[in-house]
Amino acid sequence: MESEIIFNIDVMLAKRKMSVSELAEKVGITLSNMSILKTGKAKAIRISTLIKLCEALDCQPGDILEFRKGEGE
């Protein structure tokens, strides 16, 4: 298994009692792109999008991003 970055957007949404569609609207991205981020299928994220996520969720990048080291590394 390779190392990966996990998006913990679900956790922050629950803490903020916010819907995915509300977050997508606040950040200014489509619901489908928000779903890609939320499910961890994104290959990249713009810093500007990360900033907007942090503003909308009132959090730090480390609250929504998590590094998981791959096995055997």
Q: Is residue 38 part of a domain?
A: yes
Residues 6+ apart with CB under 8 A from 27: 34, 49, 52, 53, 56
Residues of the domain holding 62? 4-68
Q: What is the pLDDT of residue 73?
A: 56
Query: Taking all residues of the chain, what is their mean pLDDT, rounded to a whole number?
Result: 93
Give the phi and the psi of residue 30 in degrees, each rounded to 5. -70, 160
Q: How confident is the model at residue 31 (pLDDT cuts 50, 70, 90)?
A: very high
Q: Provide the CATH number for the domain around residue 57.
A: 1.10.260.40
Q: What is the pLDDT of residue 62?
A: 96
- Residue 36, token pair as written in the block: 């890609």
**Has residue 73 been placed in a domain?**
no
Q: Dump pLDDT digits (tens) for 46-67.
A: 999 999 999 999 999 999 999 9
Question: Is residue 40 in a domain?
Answer: yes
